[in-house]
Amino acid sequence: MRLALEWAARGMFITTPNPRVGCVILRDGALIGAGHTLPAGQPHAEVQALRDAAARGNDVRGATAYVTLEPCSHHGRTPPCADALIEAGLARVVVAVSDPNPLVAGRGMDKLRAAGIAVDYGVLEHEAREMNIGFFSRMERGRPWVRMKSAASLDGGTALHNGRSQWITSQAARDDGHWWRARACAILTGIGTVQEDDPQLTVRAVDTPRQPRRIVIDSRLQISPDAKVLSGGGTWVVAAQPDADKEALLRERGAEVLLLPNARGKVDLPELLRELGRRGINELHVEAGFKLNGSLLRDGCVDELLLYYAPTLLGDAQRMFDLPALEDLSGQRRLAFHELRQIGADLRILARFPSH
């Protein structure tokens, strides 16, 4: 199953909105076929592994398949993998975790068992869930897994008050940040960051055949049609106030405008997450500034912080999140460290809110 998870990771950047799944087929301890999920509409991991075995002239009848997610039982964009495994004559299928998709949810394993295949379940279940944390979030909660990235000095400064920020962390940390961008279905930022930094929000430091979708929160549609984040098209601009002329201009730039106002005339962030869930966004990567970061945190829209700390001191500086001063320590929002790692000269922290 560890090997199957390694195969799943080969699909890390490409499978959205589908989960990234790996499948290896073994006979007498020897690997006879392996595959991972391809982009949506193309074959799933199991079919790829069966094809790989066939291409290598290996007979899979009576063999064992290890799959990191329960084989699907439904006709989606592709036919059911459970049927493919049954037809191929596998003797045993080992599944890491069941598919939370209500169209599957146990039926894939039921199908295999009904066909006389031995099914084992729960091997490296935790790791397999982590591999598709966004897909599980979307299926179980109807919203993406939201990962907020920021980088700061050891004393928590992200930029000087005069706005100068490039670069606090090392090249290695910035490249690492691109790996997290690449695996996300979408990258979210705010109009403040677009106006100050004019970022492209594309993946450049790692090789990927697919660019994540870019999303800009821009309540009053202030974005310039020349903003780099619009180049190449496909960007979603999320506003709270309609503006027919501006919307037409943005559409010409290949963008789509989503209107999601709340009662305060701002973008309804929890509703945006539900909309992104409906649109198939599994992992949402946030790279925004002080204000939007604070709003997302205050509205309970963040699952995980991805923070890079450089071993330097900036003194009185801009901070990461616009959060209100507390009167009482009982108001603090505690997280748990999920992972700590040194990246080049910097420290990378992944921290999660406790409900996860």
Residues that bind Zn ion (CB under 5 A): 44, 72, 81
* Shortest distance in whole angstroms from residue 78 CB to ligand AOF: 4
Span of 64-72, 166-174, 335-343, 344-352 interacting with ligand AOF by CB under 6 A: 64-72
Asked if 18 is part of the footprint of ligand AOF (rule: CB under 6 A), the reply reads yes
Q: Hey, what are 118's tokens?
A: 């031995």
Residues 209-238 that bind ligand AOF (CB under 6 A): none
Site for ligand AOF in 87-106 (CB under 6 A): 99, 101, 104
Q: Is 283 a catalytic residue?
A: no
Please check if 291 is assigned to a binding site. yes
Q: What is the chain's alpha carbon radius of gyration, rounded to the nearest angstrom? A: 22
Is 106 known as a binding-site position? no
Question: Which amino acid, residue 120?
Answer: D
112 binds ligand AOF (CB under 6 A): no
User: Is 128 an interacting residue with respect to ligand AOF (CB under 6 A)?
Assistant: no
> According to CB under 6 A, which one of 13, 16, 34, 78 is a site residue for ligand AOF?
78
Contact 290, 319 (CB under 8 A): yes
* d(C-alpha 125, C-alpha 145), whole Å: 18
Q: Cα–Cα distance between 174 and 177 in angstroms, integer?
A: 5
Nearest approach, Cβ of residue 182 and Zn ion (Å): 24
CA gap 306, 312 in Å, rounded: 18
**Minimum distance from CB of 208 to ligand AOF (Å)?**
18
Is 293 labelled a binding residue?
yes
Enter the tokens of residue 89: 């004559």
Q: Which of 69, 58, 54 is nearest to 28 (CA)?
A: 58
Which CB sits closer to ligand AOF, 141 or 338? Answer: 141
Q: Looking at beta carbons, which residue is closest to ligand AOF? A: 76
Closest separation in Å from C-beta 84 to ligand AOF: 9
Question: What is the size of the binding site for ligand AOF (CB under 6 A)?
Answer: 18
CB of 270 to ligand AOF, least distance (A): 23
Tell me which of ligand AOF, Zn ion, none is bound by residue 146, counting a contact when its beta carbon lies within the kind-specific cut-off of 5 to 8 angstroms.
none
Q: How far is the CB of 324 from Zn ion (least distance, A)?
A: 47
Of positions 34, 53, 81, 255, contacts ligand AOF by CB under 6 A: 81
Can you read off the two tokens belonging to residue 274?
Answer: 């539900």
Q: Which partner, Zn ion, ligand AOF, none, binds residue 343 by CB below 5 to 8 Å per kind?
A: none
Q: Among all residues, which ones are annotated catalytic?
A: 46
Binding residue positions: 44, 72, 81, 151, 165, 167, 181, 193, 197, 201, 204, 219, 287, 289-295
- Give me the residues that bind ligand AOF (CB under 6 A), please: 18-19, 21, 37, 40, 44-46, 69, 71-72, 76-78, 81, 99, 101, 104
Binding residue positions for Zn(2+): 44, 72, 81
